[in-house]
Structure 1
Amino acid sequence: MNATTGKKLNKERVSLAMVNEPKKSFFRYENGVVLMMFFTFGFVFMERLSVVYLFPFIAPDLKLNNAEIGMIVSILAICWSLSGFVFGSISDLIGSRKKVLLPITLAFSLFSFLSGIAKSFGSMLLLRGLMGVSEGPVLPIAQAAVVAESSEKRRGFNLGFVQSSLGLIGSTVTPLIVTAVATKYSWHAAFYLVGVPGIVMFFILLKWMIDPSKRMTKEQAAAHDHRVKREDYPAVFKSRNVWVCMVISAFMMTWLFAFTTFAPTYLTGHDKFTPEAMGLIMSAMGLGTFFWGFIGPAISDKWGRKPTLILFGFIATLSPVCLALVHGSIATMMIIGFLTTAGQATFPLFMAVVPGESLKPKYVGTAVGLTQLVGEFIGGTAAPSIGGIAADHFGLAAPLWIAAGGAFVSALIAFGLRETAPIRMKKSGAIVDQEVPAL
């Protein structure tokens, strides 16, 4: 059988499978786990980003300079990156997402409450570091749980929708809530409030989350027993796409954290917006983060992962540039913020979708944790501290230009990816089986 005949047969099998595919109810576990992970990850970022929006209130009270602001963000990122890889790998090794996710959900809620009683730079630094330890594993575990339950044609959308909660909950709802509470009551009260949703999610996960092993037949369970043998664990490090995604992660995290850490301070300190106006502008950016966060991956289900990453990577360059150069009304800045945060579409792709499609399912937690480790450790840790030092020496616009450079470089690096989208692979006649590609 020649190659042309093989391609035709493969396409016929795909078409036949689509025709014979039974209709699925909306109330199935695939949608349930997507919603549970959406809210869990969203509340993680509500608690993580709350400190950024509260810095205009915290900094005068605790007498923080820009370098110390950057360090508070950086310590969380350091702990987040290491914890995500370690506990993401542990969840792969023990074959249970739920056993790891439940205790850390309680823990990050506790540290949000404790952040509200911080009395100095040192105590805030310690508490945010402990929060990073508890929050770091959530994304690798959540995305691994979603990959295990996702149908092939919805994989990009599902993973993108989960991660888009960063925008809707973390970046849209959070600044409105915490700035309002801090203005009316205190920044301490804001930390207490954002700790509550995590407690609620703990009980929801306890009741309804199911580990994949519990849904297996005896035959599937027997086949799954060798899921993560120690001798084949290094397979994660043999994938070219995982390495490329790690480098992209480092530069896109630079864009994300240099921008989000100093955008609120820039708006209030340089452009002289009130805290309430700053909250509105940041919320518009958050809404854009939510919208593009699942629209971009959904587009990639049709166009392919590689071209979508390249396109939205270049668009991401515009958000800090526009903030630095355009000084318009609140409405103007809200519109620009919504449109230019399209760069958030890249995050589900390089952090979860591409690594998840480049490896066997049993490695997904480890791969996502590794990509997160590199991105958080370099971009999430170094960028806020360097940005803070640059802001003290060159002005508040300096971190924005650092952010723009990170996004631009990441778009160039994305040219080195190998395509993994099932629809593109099938059109080319390739068969996607999630085996580890050769370097």
Structure 2
Amino acid sequence: MQEIHVSDKNISFSYLRLNRYLNEREQGWTQNIWPTSEYFLLSLGGEAMNIRSGSDYKVIILLSLGFGLVGLDRFMILPMFPVLRESLGIGYQDIGLITGILSIAWGISSVLMGNAADWLGRRVIVVASLIAFSLAVGLSGFAVGLLSLLFLRALIGLLEGAFAPAALMLNFEHSEPEHVGRNIGMMQAALPFFGLALAPIIVTQLLTVVAWHYVFAFLAIPGFLTALLLWRSLKRGGADPAELQAFRDETTVARWREALSYRNVKVNLFCICCWMACLIVTSALMPSYLMDYLHLDLARMGYVLSATGFGATLGGFVMPWLSDRIGRKTVASINALGTATFIILLSVLGPEPFPLFCALFGIAFFLYNLMGMTLGTMTAESVPAHIGATASGLVIGVGEIFGSGVIPIVAGFAAQHYGIRSILFIGLGATLIGLVALLGYRSNTVGQYSAEGRSATVAG
């Protein structure tokens, strides 16, 4: 019999993964995906034991696809607004309502359903919400006016808000400790790639051949297929029944209080408000800045804004991967500094499209993955596994509600009374304040989580 040498660095995580596999094999769940003879032990520096299952990679890819569909369904309506204005008779103020109500609903749902996912099971929440918001997207084609469209967008926000924290924690649980940043970064990069880079292309091309009603129906189909594949791929984990029952007996407020008892969660709550403030002024109000202040025409403005989707996607791959190597806090600080630097650069540029494209690319490269790290890895690895989705849901919810409710009012007031250029200084100030707040974040060793955070795997 082969002798195995291990240390305590990730031993609880490795043991739980092996124990989960053995339990699933006894119940016939693995279906010989990885026979025992094909198992291998991967030594990290000759110390740690880690076991990978090929099904874990499949789950991570499907979760990334699901998150990309969230972005697609969320942002697909933006290039449709000119058509919807003519068809449904809505105005510019109505467009703002349609956009904002989804974000506010998303935030409220993330807070409530992130908590529910920890005791109902993340697998159920992820699959059910994916099916439901895909159905709601398809039904959007039946909207006959502003009220019906507002109702459906709010419903989509509620359902997508339920999906996000549960999906983040499932990714976390199916990732090796040294690759958590990379895997969650890949999943979160799918949202801007599908929503900001692909959605305008797909939607505008479909509108040339079919009516807008059918665009919603067509883009709902991938969600149903992804939900089916996730249901077949995700298996119930091996949670401690006593611990899980004790958690379910707690009140919702008690679970929120437990999540907020961790210092990093409070730091992340403050930081995500800063990052969201920067996001609003560099995305939602950026078209007005480019056209009203720099006097770009519509075509050049669209070219410059496309940098956001590509920068966010590339940054979502590169920087979280780097955080696996040099630490979350270090990379988050680099992201904040990079964001501030490119905002300063943007503030001094003239109306030349290519330099503006590069500046927005840089802002998106650093800012979007900074938000993703704060919502995902930096929160999930700071709390015990049984309240992971609760903590992530709190951070996501506060960020969405604050970013969609408070910041647009402040930024709009500043733009109205001090000029549209003032929004850049709001974004710069918020980023620098967030950078200072990051000093309070307590780092974990790279590739190693606290024993408390990795000692339990909740039933999914």
TM range (shorter): 0.7 to 0.9
2:66 to 19, 40, 51: 40
- 2:381 is aligned to 357
C-alpha displacement of 1:181:
3.5
Tell me if structure 2 keeps the 8 A contact 1:141–1:365.
yes
Say if 1:109 and 1:272 are closer, same or farther in 2 by CA, change over 3 A.
farther
- 1:4 is aligned to none
- 1:131 is aligned to 156
Q: How far apart, in 2, do the equivalents of 1:323 and 1:68 lie?
A: 30
> Which is helix-richer, 1 or 2?
1
Q: How far apart, in 1, do the equivalents of 2:213 and 2:344 lie?
A: 33
C-alpha displacement of 1:329:
5.0
Q: How far apart, in 1, do the equivalents of 2:383 and 2:403 lie?
A: 24
Structure 1 length-normalised TM: 0.81
SS in 1 for 2:247: coil
Tell me if structure 1 keeps the 8 A contact 2:290–2:296.
yes
- 2:280 is aligned to 257
C-alpha displacement of 1:132:
0.8
Larger deviation: 321-330 or 282-291? Answer: 321-330
C-alpha displacement of 1:39:
0.7
C-alpha displacement of 1:137:
1.4
C-alpha displacement of 1:133:
0.7
C-alpha displacement of 1:326:
3.3
Q: Given the alignment of the two structures, is residue 19 of structure 1 paired with residue 35 of structure 2, yes or no? A: no
Q: Given the alignment of the two structures, is residue 28 of structure 1 paired with residue 63 of structure 2, yes or no? A: no
Larger deviation: 354-363 or 397-406? Answer: 397-406
Larger deviation: 253-262 or 399-408? Answer: 399-408
Say if 1:333 and 1:408 are closer, same or farther in 2 by CA, change over 3 A.
same
Gaps of at least 5 residues in structure 2 are: 1-6, 13-41, 456-460
2:100 to 41, 63, 74: 74
1:367 to 391, 411, 418: 391
Say if 1:69 and 1:310 are closer, same or farther in 2 by CA, change over 3 A.
farther
Q: Given the alignment of the two structures, is residue 90 of structure 1 paired with residue 116 of structure 2, yes or no? A: yes
Tell me if structure 2 keeps the 8 A contact 1:74–1:382.
no
Number of residue pairs matched by the alignment:
414
Tell me if structure 2 keeps the 8 A contact 1:77–1:377.
yes
Gaps of at least 5 residues in structure 1 are: 1-8, 426-430
Q: How far apart, in 2, do the equivalents of 1:298 and 1:360 lie?
A: 23
Larger deviation: 391-400 or 193-202? Answer: 391-400
**Percent identity of paired positions between Structure 1 and Structure 2:** 25
Say if 1:416 and 1:21 are closer, same or farther in 2 by CA, change over 3 A.
closer
Tell me if structure 1 keeps the 8 A contact 2:114–2:162.
yes
C-alpha displacement of 1:306:
1.3
Counterpart mapping for 1:29-428 below 5 A:
29-59=55-85, 62-65=89-92, 67-94=93-120, 96-182=121-207, 187-212=212-237, 216=238, 221-222=240-241, 225-226=244-245, 228-231=247-250, 233=255, 234-264=257-287, 266-267=289-290, 278-317=301-340, 325-328=348-351, 330-341=353-364, 342-387=366-411, 397=421, 399-423=423-447
> Match for 2:73: what amino acid?
E
Say if 1:288 and 1:45 are closer, same or farther in 2 by CA, change over 3 A.
same
Tell me if structure 1 keeps the 8 A contact 2:59–2:230.
no
Tell me if structure 1 keeps the 8 A contact 2:192–2:313.
yes
Q: How far apart, in 2, do the equivalents of 1:132 and 1:203 lie?
A: 21
Tell me if structure 1 keeps the 8 A contact 2:43–2:50.
no
Tell me if structure 2 keeps the 8 A contact 1:147–1:155.
yes
C-alpha displacement of 1:374:
0.9
- 2:453 is aligned to 434
Deviation string, structure 1 residues 386-433 (Cα, Å, up to 9, x no partner): 5456556666555555444433322222122111243588xxxxx654
- 1:5 is aligned to none
> Match for 1:206: what amino acid?
W
Deviation string, structure 1 residues 35-79 (Cα, Å, up to 9, x no partner): 1110101100111122334445545663423x5433322211211
- 1:3 is aligned to none
- RMSD (CA atoms): 3.4
> Match for 2:127: what amino acid?
L
Tell me if structure 2 keeps the 8 A contact 1:316–1:340.
yes
C-alpha displacement of 1:294:
2.6
Structure 2 length-normalised TM: 0.78
C-alpha displacement of 1:19:
2.1
Tell me if structure 1 keeps the 8 A contact 2:279–2:367.
no
SS in 2 for 1:207: helix
Q: How far apart, in 2, do the equivalents of 1:116 and 1:322 lie?
A: 42
